[in-house]
Structure 1
């Protein structure tokens, strides 16, 4: 990733550069499937019932890389937190976002004493291997059955057409998830204060777009 003025390129600019090459690699038929999926998601819009600023984070269980179960409150402690919900390590747009967040947010959260946690429904083993291979050291937890994501109202289920398209690329979403279903969260960033109250939430129904690191930092500074 190129850098300017101490920051990486925006996620949007990286996606803009990545997508044409990705579509050329997978071919027009599969690219058309994913384009339809993204259009359907945009048309449906943000789901009703998602968590709002002022809501408290539900204290559900998460699983660390070793598979140990712990409550979200224990993960966060009495500190402000940035929660990054991502679809899975199989999603290239998630990888772009996580690498950017690691580079741009990690120094900031260390300075602020803030927790930065990436959360997906994948099994700890799958997440751990993928993080190691990608050089990611962001703290990762598994949300079994999307328990936390569901409480926040951000769970979606991919269409069967897109499931088959990903299978053609060797991706079995259900096989990587702890509950063996293909349910995944919308890419979402939550910033919560030390009491666990949500102060910022950004839900992206189109998974090719992500919350920019600068916006997360602004939300953190505003606490």
Structure 2
């Protein structure tokens, strides 16, 4: 038997990156317009198997679209030179402050008036013996005439304190209080005995009365002497 010669299979067609990109773009556009079926439609149109189209879509080997060469940037226009800053106006010189007026001198206080020295108080007035006797006599006369008030009358008339007048009266031996007026002692009537003589008892009674009268007479005599 003669051997059957094998049919020569066609080698796979090689697609350029541009062709692959065209297939991928068509498939994506179909899916975008119709929702699905882009791979099958691209395989039918370009005569490529569905698996090949799917491989191109999944693999990252699909060449990226050639970058558009950026146009050369135009050279920047040179910046205009800044205008020079205007010179600051010179500040006007400050006006000098007017000198302060000198403070008025404080008025000199007048010296305090020197207090006048206290004048020595005059010492107590001295009375002579005649003046003292005059005051005592005036006291006794008022007391003899009115029964009392001699001391007050002498104080008002001679401007002497009651204590001073009382002291003078004590030294002179004159009673400071007015003596009470005593009634004159009544002489007891002694009946003479029938025989014409006095009994011893009657004589004693008369002696006592005489003594009392003499005592009263002495007091009255002293008062009279003080008045004179």
The TM-score, its normalising length taken from structure 2, stands at 0.16
Higher relative contact order at CA 8 Å, sep ≥6: structure 1 or structure 2?
1
